[in-house]
């Protein structure tokens, strides 16, 4: 079953740790520490599926090269007790394929980079245990934000204290929600929950699900560290592994007893959740508010990872006033992205309609005009966002292709045919997998370049200008109303005469 595990830790010189050494070990790389003069060679280590670097769009090119990134990160720290790196270690669902896990790892790393503006190296590791389920990724992050000029201020909000706790909570929620979105996108009916078992048990008790609350009161297993995992790879037992086996056996015995008692009492098995993974959530939540990317033109574009989930209750219909308010917000987005487009006329019309709605109530003429205007404003906004999305997709495709190209070249240089690291079948399999990824990234880049070409963008710009012209040419709402007649409200057959607001003066 899919499990949730996330751990955050730091690397400090005070403990004799090095960001270069950590990056080399996690990525299976040969990296040189320019400060100590040491070379860290982990090219022979097994279990590394893929390693890639991510950084903000305006970061220097060297931020995507591990050998340069961590050397500069170390050089940016002056103190002998400096914290030189921060790591986010998290489990990846074994139910997903290698490619799906890679996409999930990229999405999580990208969300972290977008929020904290640091550079990261993500290294996906394959299971090192006999059960073959321990897929995970190490996201090694710089402790400083990075921009066009290189490293800048420290990410202090991730340090200890109340701020650090709230940030770690956001990270935990984001990882759980992103993982659940990818599980659902893969058509899998499993979810994970970032909350502790105690919190889940209290939640079950609050909703009156006593059986589920009892099931969630089980003892949690212990995380296998590096030493225990190394012993498991060799087929040897460790103290932690034996303890986990005992805990799992005890939990299973408790589950059997609960199921038997439920059957005797004629109760369902904890809302059918005892047949699923303990601790999973019944539904996939919405994505965390932090999962956003800043559009290249200043529009905030939601990073779509999963589908929108409808609630069980029917949503309240959107009122005409709310539609006007949304259209005015859309106009603000358009103005931020395209200051050259004249939106004064349509904005004045919407504001006039808003005031008329508040003063005289809804009329057929106002409703018809607002409906048409709102649809045209949203269509224009979508066209502007579409252009931004093309540029974002091109930048992302270029970064992914660069990562795949680097991984392909690194494998061929570090592991030539006949090297002692892998058997010939294993060498062929690993090489073909990297070639397949590179070919896929090349196709994606070609498609993104085509959509982001000058000709394609010129067509989009022409469409934007056409829609903007049509919108500004929309007749003001005041011209559609009778000048000397009473305003008839939709919800009243006979309404008292009401003074009609003065239409906006447009020059």
The answer to whether residue 109 scores a pLDDT higher than 80 is yes
Q: What is the pLDDT of residue 9?
A: 93
Candidates 2.60.40.2300, 3.30.70.240, 3.30.930.30, 3.40.50.11540; CATH matching 6-185? 3.30.930.30
Joined together, the tokens standing for residue 207 give 């909703």
Q: What is the C-alpha separation between 62 and 146, in angstroms, rounded?
A: 11
Calpha distance 324→491 (Å, rounded): 19
Instruction: Indicate if the pLDDT at residue 434 is higher than 70.
Output: yes
The pLDDT assigned to 153 comes to 95
What is the residue-averaged pLDDT of the chain?
77
- Report the pLDDT value the prediction gives residue 222, as an integer from 0 to 100: 67
Q: What is the mean pLDDT of residues 175-185?
A: 89
Q: What is the pTM of this model?
A: 0.48
* Residue 437 scores a pLDDT above 90: no
pLDDT tens-digit series, residues 40-72: 999 988 889 999 999 998 899 899 999 999 999
Of the chain, the percentage scoring pLDDT greater than 90 comes to 25
Other beta carbons less than 10 A from residue 186's beta carbon? 15
Is it the case that residue 357 has pLDDT exceeding 60?
Answer: yes
pLDDT category at 358 given cuts 50, 70, 90 is confident
Residue 424: pLDDT band (50, 70, 90) is confident
- The whole-number pLDDT of residue 309 equals 36
272: left (phi over 0), alpha (psi -120 to 50) or beta: left
CA 145 – CA 152 distance, rounded (Å): 5
- Residue bearing the bigger pLDDT, 235 or 294: 235
Write the pLDDT tens digit of every residue in 370-408.
888 888 888 888 888 888 778 878 887 888 888 888 889
Confidence of residue 86 (pLDDT cuts 50, 70, 90): very high
Map out the domains of the chain as residue ranges: 6-185, 197-226+237-275, 323-480
The SS3 of residue 117 is coil
User: Encoding tokens for residue 298?
Assistant: 């200043």
Asked if residue 210 has pLDDT above 60, the reply is: no
Mean pLDDT of 168-197: 84
What are the phi and psi torsion angles at 89 (to 5°)? -105, 130
pLDDT of residue 291 exceeding 80: no
Q: Is the pLDDT of residue 130 over 80?
A: no
In the chain, helix, strand, coil percent, each to 5? 55, 10, 35
- Residue percentage of the chain with pLDDT more than 70: 70
What pLDDT does residue 231 have? 66
Q: Evaluate if residue 259 carries a pLDDT over 80.
A: no
pLDDT digits (tens, 9 = 90+) for 492-506: 444 444 444 455 544
Per-residue pLDDT at 69: 94
Q: What is the DSSP letter of 504?
A: P
Least confident window among 183-187, 268-272, 386-390? 268-272
For residues 73-86, b (16+ Cβ closer than 10 Å) or e, as one string? Answer: bbebbeeeebbbbb
Q: DSSP code of 325? A: H
120 versus 223: the higher-pLDDT residue is: 120
Query: In what helix (H) or strand (E) does residue 71 lie, and over which residues does it extend?
Result: helix 66-75
The tens digit of pLDDT for each residue in 26-41 reads 999 999 888 888 899 9
Q: DSSP assignment, residue 298?
A: S
């Amino acid at each position: 079953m899919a499990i949730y595990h996330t751990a955050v830790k730091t690397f400090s010189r005070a403990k004799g740790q090095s960001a270069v050494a950590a990056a080399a070990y996690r990525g299976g790389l040969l990296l040189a520490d320019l400060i100590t003069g040491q070379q860290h060679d982990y090219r022979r280590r097994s279990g590394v599926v893929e390693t890639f670097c991510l950084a903000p769009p305006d970061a220097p090119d060297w931020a995507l090269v591990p050998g340069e990134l961590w050397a500069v990160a170390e050089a940016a720290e002056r103190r002998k007790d400096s914290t030189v790196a921060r790591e986010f270690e998290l489990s990846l669902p074994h139910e997903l394929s290698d490619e799906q896990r890679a996409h999930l790892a990229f999405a999580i790393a990208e969300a972290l980079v977008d929020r904290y503006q640091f550079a990261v190296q993500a290294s996906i590791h394959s299971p090192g245990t006999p059960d073959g389920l321990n897929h995970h990724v190490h996201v090694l992050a710089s402790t400083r934000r990075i921009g066009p000029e290189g490293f800048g201020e420290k990410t202090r909000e991730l340090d200890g204290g109340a701020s650090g706790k709230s940030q770690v909570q956001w990270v935990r929620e984001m990882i759980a929600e992103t993982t659940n979105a990818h599980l659902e996108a893969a058509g899998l009916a499993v979810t994970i929950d970032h909350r502790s078992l105690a919190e889940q048990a209290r939640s079950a008790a609050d909703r009156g699900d006593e059986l589920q609350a009892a099931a969630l009161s089980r003892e949690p297993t212990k995380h296998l560290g590096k030493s225990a995992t190394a012993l498991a790879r060799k087929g040897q037992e460790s103290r932690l592994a034996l303890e986990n086996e005992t805990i799992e056996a005890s939990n299973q015995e408790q589950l059997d007893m609960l199921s038997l008692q439920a059957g005797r009492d004629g109760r369902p098995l904890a809302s059918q959740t005892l047949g699923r993974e303990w601790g999973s959530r019944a539904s996939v939540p919405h994505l965390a508010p932090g999962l956003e990317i800043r559009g290249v033109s200043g529009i905030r574009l939601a990073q779509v990872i999963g589908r929108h989930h409808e609630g069980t209750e029917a949503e309240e219909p959107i009122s005409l006033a709310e539609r006007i308010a949304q259209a005015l917000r859309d106009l603000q987005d358009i103005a931020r992205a395209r200051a050259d487009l004249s939106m004064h006329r349509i904005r004045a019309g919407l504001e006039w309609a808003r005031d008329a709605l508040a003063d005289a109530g809804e009329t057929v003429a106002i409703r018809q005009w607002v409906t048409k205007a709102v649809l045209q404003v949203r269509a224009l906004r979508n066209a502007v966002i579409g252009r931004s999305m093309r540029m974002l997709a091109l930048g992302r495709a270029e970064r992914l292709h660069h990562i795949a190209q680097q991984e392909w070249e690194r494998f061929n240089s570090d592991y030539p045919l006949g090297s002692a690291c892998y058997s010939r079948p294993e060498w062929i399999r690993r090489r073909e997998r990297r070639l397949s990824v590179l070919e896929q990234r090349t196709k994606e880049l070609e498609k993104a370049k085509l959509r982001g070409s000058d000709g394609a963008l010129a067509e989009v710009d022409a469409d934007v200008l056409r829609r903007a012209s049509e919108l500004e040419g929309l007749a003001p709402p005041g011209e559609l109303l009778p000048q000397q007649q009473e305003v008839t409200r939709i919800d009243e057959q006979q309404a008292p005469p009401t003074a009609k607001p003065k239409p906006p003066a447009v020059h």
